[in-house]
């Protein structure tokens, strides 16, 4: 009898423990379900808020940032716009003077720097008419290349001007007579060809008449002699305005 009672009590105790564990698990499951529902609702509210408020705000922020970048780019472009390219105004290619003056045009009031053979020489400023001038520029023997660069107030430079070459040459050209080869002679015909050779690029005048000169410096001109003595002056002038003169005498004996 006592054994049966003990077994029945044990079963009741076991059933009570199982009931408690079942209720506890049910409460835990209910809590997890509530947390899941709350988290789902919060997630949904977050995405809805993002769509209603966050996304337009992000769009507006992107637009504002884009406008700022455009304005900054515009300001940078305005700052880096260089001044117009200046230019030198030189009417000669060679000179026999060791010093020259150089003039040019640029934007008015702007600083201009002169370069000779890629070496900085002088700086000046253009006047109200955009004109500038460099005085007493010393030339090297032979070829000298010049260009100028303009600078605005922010120190931004222009493109270099088109280079200009100037040759310094103070040596007079040579005159080598071919016909006649002597300085004084007598002939029995009126038509006479005066011929010779001078420096390349030089021009030749025979009694102020322009003779033809080829690429090698050879010149020739047909001359009509007068009866008796004919004094003939030959002048060779190079690009630097150096001159050489030679006089010959031809007697036309009829």
231 and 203: one domain? yes
| Domain coverage including residue 144 | 87-168
Query: Do residues 34 and 65 both lie within one domain?
Result: yes
Show which of 152, 168, 184 is a domain's final residue: 168
Tell whether 158 and 113 lie within a shared domain.
Answer: yes
DSSP β-bridge partners for residue 89? 103
State the DSSP code for 84: P
pTM of the model: 0.61
Q: Which two tokens stand for residue 128?
A: 């109200």
Q: Single out the residue in 22, 46, 80 at which a domain terminates.
A: 80
State both tokens at 146. Answer: 């010049």
Residue-level pLDDT, tens digit, the chain, 254 residues: 444 444 444 454 445 555 455 555 566 666 667 667 666 666 666 555 556 655 555 556 556 556 656 566 555 555 578 899 999 999 899 999 999 999 999 999 999 999 999 999 999 999 999 999 999 999 999 999 999 999 998 889 999 999 999 999 999 999 999 999 999 999 999 999 999 999 999 999 999 999 999 999 999 999 999 999 999 999 999 999 999 999 999 999 87
Using alpha carbons only, give the angle 37, 40, 44 rounded to the nearest 5 degrees. 140
């Amino acid at each position: 009898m006592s054994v049966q009672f003990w077994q029945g009590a044990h079963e009741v105790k076991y059933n009570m423990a199982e009931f408690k564990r079942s209720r506890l698990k049910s409460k835990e499951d209910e809590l997890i379900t509530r947390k899941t529902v709350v988290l789902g609702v919060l997630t949904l509210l977050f995405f809805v808020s993002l769509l209603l408020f966050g996304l337009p705000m992000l769009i507006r922020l992107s637009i504002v940032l884009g406008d700022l970048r455009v304005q900054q780019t515009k300001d940078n472009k305005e700052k880096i716009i260089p001044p117009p390219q200046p230019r030198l105004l030189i009417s000669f290619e060679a000179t026999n003077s060791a010093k020259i003056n150089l003039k040019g045009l640029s934007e008015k009031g702007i600083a201009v720097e002169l370069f000779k053979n890629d070496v900085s020489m002088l700086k000046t400023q253009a006047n109200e008419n955009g004109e500038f001038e460099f005085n007493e520029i010393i030339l090297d023997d032979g070829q000298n290349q010049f260009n100028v660069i303009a600078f605005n107030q922010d120190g931004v430079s222009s493109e270099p001007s088109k280079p200009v070459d100037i040759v310094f040459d103070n040596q007079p050209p040579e005159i080598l007579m071919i016909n006649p080869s002597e300085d004084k002679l007598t002939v029995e015909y009126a038509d006479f060809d005066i011929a010779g050779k001078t420096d390349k690029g030089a021009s030749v005048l025979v009694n102020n008449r322009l003779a033809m000169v080829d690429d090698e410096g050879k010149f020739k001109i047909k001359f009509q002699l007068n009866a008796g003595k004919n004094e003939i002056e030959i002048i060779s002038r190079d690009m630097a305005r150096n001159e050489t003169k030679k006089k010959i005498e031809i007697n036309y004996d009829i």
